[in-house]
Amino acid sequence: MDSLAVELDLHRLELRFAATRMLDAAAVQRLSDSIQECGQRVACIAAGQPEDSRLVLIDGYRRVAALGRLRRDTALVQRWGCPVEQALAQLLARSGSRPFTAIEEALLLRELIDAHGMSQREAARQCARDVSWVQRRLVLCGALPEALLQAVRSARVSSWAASRIFVPRAARQQ
């Protein structure tokens, strides 16, 4: 994986995994304020080969939103020259500056398994986790109706309530 960060036009970033991230307007505002005052200190992460005109944004969705709020056209981006599924697995394996909620992890795992044909065992191995961790995360996605997942993503329902109240209720009804 490449380690150098470069300024990249925002239109070159494909926001493919935006639906897997929780919306937090207050966090984006704080980040906008910080970027306005100090500049972008942490690079976004994107995957793709050097010949690709667009890169898939892997991490940095809030930073991109903050930059958009500031009407900036570029972002500091670290390009990982690996397949998207490997980059997603690496993201889940790392402990980043912002921990993911269980729902976000579940949605990213669902992407690895459904869209990239990875087995649960392989996803666990790639993410440096055990299979039971993967299974528990996937239960979150499977137990919640899509409308409730969207309510969690948009912060109308807390991820805590979704995982501690709605998932157990859904499991009892099955």
SS (H, E, C) the chain: CCCCEEEEEHHHEECCCHHHCCCCHHHHHHHHHHHHHHCCCCCEEEECCCCCCCEEEEECHHHHHHHHHCCCCEEEEEEECCCHHHHHHHHHHCCCCCCCCHHHHHHHHHHHHHHCCCCHHHHHHHCCCCHHHHHHHHHHHHHCCHHHHHHHHCCCCCHHHHHHHHHHHHHHHC
CATH 1.20.1090.10 matches 83-174: no
| pLDDT score of 66 | 97
Confidence label for 130 from pLDDT (cuts 50, 70 and 90): confident
Confidence label for 144 from pLDDT (cuts 50, 70 and 90): confident
| pLDDT score of 104 | 85
Q: How far is CA 81 from CA 4, 47, 50, 103, in A?
A: 11, 6, 7, 27
In the chain, ranges of CATH 1.10.10.2830 domains: 83-174
CATH domain 1-82 topology: 3.90.1530
pTM > 0.75: no
Q: Which of 37-51, 99-113, 137-151, 158-172 has the lowest mean pLDDT?
A: 158-172
Q: Is the pLDDT of residue 28 over 80?
A: yes
In the chain, ranges of CATH 3.90.1530.10 domains: 1-82
